[in-house]
Amino acid sequence: MASKVLNVFYKDDDILMEAVKKVQSKNYRIEEVFCPFPVHGLDKLLKVKHTRLAITSFLYGLVGISVALTMMNYIMIIDWPQNIGGKPSFSLIENLPSFIPTAFEMTVFFAAHLMVITFYMRSKLWPFKKAENPDPRTTDDHFLMQVSVGNNDIQEVAEFLNTTGAVEIDLKK
Amino acid sequence: MYTISKNLKLTAIILMVVGAIGLIYGFINVPSSVEEVHEILASSDAHGHADEAHAHDDEHAEHVFHQLQNKPWASIYTAALFFFLIAAGALAFYAIQNAAQAGWSPILFRVMEGISAYIFPGGVIVFVLLVLSSLHLNHLFIWMDADVVAHDEIIANKTGYLNIPFFLIRAAIYIVGWAFFYSRLRKNSIKLDEGFDPALFKKNFKLSAGFLVFFIVTESMLSWDFIMSIDTHWFSTLFGWFVFASMFVSGITVIALVTLYLKSKGYLEQVNNSHIHDLAKFMFGISIFWEYLWFSQFLLIWYANIPEEAVYYVQRIEQYPLLFFGTFFLNFLLPMLILINTEFKRIPWIVSLAGVIILVGHYINFYVMIMPGTVGESWSFGAAEIGSVLLIGGLFLYVIFNALTKAPLVAKNFPLLKESKHFHY
């Protein structure tokens, strides 16, 4: 049984936040909210789980520093330990200061880029992807809340939503 | 109004008394003659060079004798300078918050003012120690010794800057200047409690901006005078920044620790964990900044390895390996790993733990900057070192908490105060 979903439009983020609270108090299910800009506190209200992107970034950073040190240890110390200007290439630790700038940059490089790619993959963003927003106005000046009707009477839900300050209510096609 | 608790007062006094006893013991324990040093050296296994020439032994004993004579002086100097610069770091942070018109921090202004109150007494102690040095009661600064200067062309060429009268005048300008800015800022801040007056707010804004300009110049010169001139043959251009990072992060850490203490005692109820979070972020960020400068100074000198510069690190790595590299872990790696997590930055005991690590680390940082040039390889953590830290630390605690009782803990009428009370991150 495919549940019907209503597209509810708002013109103001404060009204939207209030509407979200009201809809939640009625125990209607909010499927998705589309906003033209980040609305502070909306994620908390919708109980969106806290992102774990920062943790992945930290782990990618550890990968980066490992790659850098392994690479330089192999190239500069193990494979061909030349005497370059008197630098001590007998062991990694003796020559470590000269490797730190590279190790630092590699850490940042891995942490940043792999995290961004993780973000793209998790949020399913890529070039030539078909845009998912149900109405182009949501990228300009309208806020859209999608409420699923469930087993309730569609008229009753729409009338309730109308009291929350909605400027337009459509049935999702 | 905050009233200093009996326990805290007692703790501060006990610290001062125990510290004073330790320091006096350190002064008494100094060998009184070269012969005594001979006996010490002969009895220690590490110096069993029986086959070496006797004349060389004499020279060595005299060298060690001077180092041991310096030891209690250097320890009290390190502690006095460390706590004085913590107070100055807190004042710099306060001035930055004022000049930047930060919206989150005004609720903590009185805490910062309380900590900065130590600038004047702390500055006087440092100044007295410098005067005693210039009276040749100790040999902390070799360039003050006319005999050394006469036989040392490099130092002789620096006497245009490094001479006792000019040195003391400069020291007085730094200390009096900072204390002056502090007292003006504090006075205006308290006056603002009586009733809001935009002129006072603007005055403090301008004073803060002026102080920051004055501060960065004097702080840089202070680091050359008070610390770098101990190793008179050595110089480094980013030294001023390096010292600044150390004192700044210590100052912020003390602000965080005092805030957490007052909050745990039920004062400062409106300070929420977002304020703590912001302070912890500063501790985290400036710790990394310190590490950046510590490493930059080391890397550039290590890489080029020019003997006249490298000797500074050769001595530290050979004679103070654990302390020198220990600061890397205490001041950078541990704070970074502890404070990188957003949740951890809101938990009082974790922030306190990181704060204590940072303070110990930066004391050691000052120790490694001052000791090699004054006591060389004869360093140890004994009664004099621990006593000095307890003595000055006790005085520091007493002065700052006493200053906190002088005014309400939260400034009234400050324009950004309401924003600060509702601050949430």
pLDDT at A81 over 60: yes
φ/ψ of B414, rounded to 5, equals -70, 130
Give residue limits of the domains in chain B. Answer: 73-421
Tokens of A105: 């940059």
Write out pLDDT tens, residues B252-280: 999 999 999 999 999 998 999 999 999 99
Write out pLDDT tens, residues A12-35: 999 999 999 999 998 899 999 999
- C-alpha B335/C-alpha B261 separation (Å) is 20
What local confidence, expressed as pLDDT, does residue A25 receive? 92
pLDDT at B33 over 90: no
Chain B residues whose CB is inside 8 A of the A98 CB are 299, 303
SS3 of A8, please?
strand
The verdict on B328 touching A (C-beta cutoff 8 Å) is no
Chain mean position to CA A26: 29
Could you report how far apart the first and last alpha carbons of chain B are, in Å? 28
Is the Cβ pair A97, B295 closer than 8 Å?
yes
Query: Which carries the bigger pLDDT value, residue B50 or residue A159?
Result: A159
The verdict on A97 touching B (C-beta cutoff 8 Å) is yes
Tokens of B373: 């040039």
Q: Scanning the structure block, which residue is given the tokens 């007085």?
A: B172
Q: What percent of chain B has pLDDT over 70?
A: 97
Collect all residues with Cβ–Cβ distance below 8 Å to B70 and sequence separation of at least 6: B138, B139, B140, B374, B375
- β partners of residue A170: A7
The verdict on B306 touching A (C-beta cutoff 8 Å) is no
pLDDT at B156 over 70: yes
The verdict on B298 touching A (C-beta cutoff 8 Å) is yes
- C-alpha B323/C-alpha B259 separation (Å) is 29
pLDDT at B44 over 60: yes
Write out pLDDT tens, residues B360-380: 999 999 999 999 999 999 899
Region A56-84: mean pLDDT is 96
Write out pLDDT tens, residues B310-336: 999 999 999 999 999 999 999 999 999
Q: Residue A143: in which H helix or E strand, if any?
A: strand A143-148
Cβ atoms within 10 A of the Cβ of B381, count? 11
Collect all residues with Cβ–Cβ distance below 8 Å to B62 and sequence separation of at least 6: B34, B37
pLDDT at A1 over 80: no
pLDDT at B143 over 60: yes
DSSP symbols for A17-80: HHHHHHHHHTTPEEEEEE-SSPPTTHHHHTTPPPP-HHHHHHHHHHHHHHHHHHHHIIIIIII-
What local confidence, expressed as pLDDT, does residue B37 receive? 81
| Helix pair B54-99, B34-43: axis angle to 10 deg | 100
DSSP symbols for B69-117: HHHHHHHHHHHHHHHHHHHHHHHHHHHHHHHTT-SSSGGGHHHHHHHHT
Query: Residue B347's pLDDT band (boundaries 50, 70, 90)?
Result: very high
What's the burial of B37, exposed, middle or buried (CB within 10 Å: 0-12/13-18/19+)? buried
What local confidence, expressed as pLDDT, does residue A149 receive? 87
Write out pLDDT tens, residues B385-423: 999 999 999 999 999 999 999 999 998 889 999 999 999
Residue pair B259/B406 in contact by the 8 Å Cβ criterion: no
Write out pLDDT tens, residues A96-138: 999 999 999 999 999 999 999 999 999 999 999 998 888 999 9
Is the Cβ pair A86, B305 closer than 8 Å?
yes
Region B47-55: mean pLDDT is 53
The verdict on A98 touching B (C-beta cutoff 8 Å) is yes
Collect all residues with Cβ–Cβ distance below 8 Å to B65 and sequence separation of at least 6: B31, B33, B34, B36, B37
Could you report how far apart the first and last alpha carbons of chain A are, in Å? 15
SS3 of B188, please?
helix
Residue pair A16/A143 in contact by the 8 Å Cβ criterion: yes
pLDDT at B47 over 60: no
What's the burial of B341, exposed, middle or buried (CB within 10 Å: 0-12/13-18/19+)? middle
Is the Cβ pair B295, A100 closer than 8 Å?
yes
| Chain B, window 205-244: residues with a beta carbon less than 8 angstroms from a chain A beta carbon | none
Query: Residue B89's pLDDT band (boundaries 50, 70, 90)?
Result: very high
- C-alpha A110/C-alpha A21 separation (Å) is 40
Query: Residue B343's pLDDT band (boundaries 50, 70, 90)?
Result: very high
Region B163-188: mean pLDDT is 96
Q: Which residue of B289, B291, B297, B303 to mutate against A (max A Cβ within 10 Å)?
A: B303
Residue pair B70/B138 in contact by the 8 Å Cβ criterion: yes
Collect all residues with Cβ–Cβ distance below 8 Å to B227 and sequence separation of at least 6: B81, B239, B243, B366, B369, B370
Chain B residue closest to A94 (CA)?
B302
SS3 of B313, please?
helix
Query: Residue B59's pLDDT band (boundaries 50, 70, 90)?
Result: confident
CB pairs under 8 A between A and B: 13
Tokens of A124: 């399913």
What's the burial of B218, exposed, middle or buried (CB within 10 Å: 0-12/13-18/19+)? buried
Is the Cβ pair B295, A58 closer than 8 Å?
no
Query: Which carries the bigger pLDDT value, residue B4 or residue B397?
Result: B397
Write out pLDDT tens, residues B303-313: 999 999 999 99
The verdict on A54 touching B (C-beta cutoff 8 Å) is yes
Is the Cβ pair A97, B299 closer than 8 Å?
yes
φ/ψ of B411, rounded to 5, equals -65, 135
Q: What percent of chain A has pLDDT over 70?
A: 98
DSSP symbols for B322-376: HHHHHHHIIIIIHHHHHHTSTTGGG-HHHHHHHHHHHHHHHHHHHHHHHHHHHTG
Is the Cβ pair A97, B305 closer than 8 Å?
no
Nearest to A97 among B298, B340, B342 (CB): B298
Chain B residues whose CB is inside 8 A of the A101 CB are 299
- C-alpha B87/C-alpha B123 separation (Å) is 10
Give whole-number Cα distances, A32 to A149, A159, B47, in Å: 13, 20, 78
The alpha-carbon gap from B249 to the nearest alpha carbon of chain A, in Å, equals 22
Chain A residues whose CB is inside 8 A of the B299 CB are 97-98, 100-101
Average pLDDT, chain B: 93
Chain A residue closest to B294 (CA)?
A97
Q: Residue A144: in which H helix or E strand, if any?
A: strand A143-148
Within 13 A of B26's CA, how many CA atoms are on the CB side?
A: 27
pLDDT at B54 over 80: no
Task: Report the predicted TM-score, pTM, of the whole model to 2 decimal places.
Answer: 0.93
- C-alpha A7/C-alpha B286 separation (Å) is 48
Q: Residue B304: in which H helix or E strand, if any?
A: helix B273-304
- C-alpha B104/C-alpha B275 separation (Å) is 7
SS3 of A171, please?
strand
Query: Residue A153's pLDDT band (boundaries 50, 70, 90)?
Result: confident
Is the Cβ pair B299, A98 closer than 8 Å?
yes
SS3 of A148, please?
strand
The alpha-carbon gap from A97 to the nearest alpha carbon of chain B, in Å, equals 6
Collect all residues with Cβ–Cβ distance below 8 Å to B162 and sequence separation of at least 6: B143, B155, B229, B232
Region B165-177: mean pLDDT is 97
Q: A123, A135, A157, A159: which is closest to A29 by C-alpha?
A: A157
The verdict on B157 touching A (C-beta cutoff 8 Å) is no
